[in-house]
Amino acid sequence: MDDRAQRLREARIARGFETAAAAAEAFGWNRNTYASNENGNAPFSYRRAKDYAAALGVRPDWLYDAAGPMRPTAEPGFVPIIGRVGANPEGTVLFATGQDPTDLAPIPPGGTENARALLVVGHSMRGVADDGALIYFEDQRTPPTPDMLGHVVVVEIDTDEVLVKRLLRGSAPDLFDLESVAGPTRQDARIRWAAHITAIIPPYQARRIIRGAA
């Protein structure tokens, strides 16, 4: 087992899952793929490390190449702003060009330490969230549920894209249409996980509560 796979196993056990199969089932991951990643037979990408890290409560840089501490160091009562959304009409969450990872926002009312925030950039999400707003969701990495249908949610699809879209039924039970606030609808997408939007903070208030690096 290589070091990266060993760290993945360590993170899974620390999260309270006794087996790889239990973790895969809880987060909707392909069991064989996850098992191969954890036993070192199939090295995983940094993008996949970010997915695993978010679900298991560790830092992706630590998981991928042992850089820095194992766990996030956000101060109590705050959660990270993990990316930006709305810069294009596709509703794609842009991680690489998002806020600095040290930028934080307060946990919203009713939220938990698993909450994450997205910064809205541009005007393609007008009517849902304006330029400069914060969108919160609970980063639990679970499959979509019936109560999400018809609502704007955060989803990851099987092309590794994370999107903010309105969730609609597709042509089959395991497929979904993803309607953009502005732009084309993606039809019959396969979804790895989906999360309700738990809070939207307007731009004026968002500017006041975002806490940057010291």
Residue 71 · residue 59 · CB < 8 Å: yes
* Same fold flag, 3-65 and 78-209: no
Pick from 28, 64, 35, 210: nearest CA to 135: 210
Helix (H, G, I), strand (E, B) or coil at 126: coil
Question: Which of 1-5, 23-27, 64-68, 166-170 is predicted with the least confidence, judged by mean pLDDT?
Answer: 1-5
Q: Which CATH number fits domain 3-65: 3.40.50.2300, 3.20.20.140, 1.10.260.40, 1.10.10.350?
A: 1.10.260.40
Q: Is the pLDDT of residue 103 over 90?
A: no
Tens of pLDDT, residue by residue over 37-81, are 999 999 999 999 999 988 888 888 899 988 877 876 667 788 888
pLDDT, average across residues 18-36: 92
What pLDDT sits at residue 33? 95
Residue 93 · residue 157 · CB < 8 Å: no
Q: Is the pLDDT of residue 122 over 80?
A: yes
What pLDDT sits at residue 126? 81
Whether domain 78-209 has CATH 2.120.10.30: the reply is no
Q: Is the pLDDT of residue 196 over 80?
A: yes
Place 89 in a pLDDT band, splitting at 50, 70 and 90. low
Cα–Cα–Cα angle for 21, 24, 28, rounded to 5 degrees? 145
Domain residue spans of the chain:
3-65, 78-209
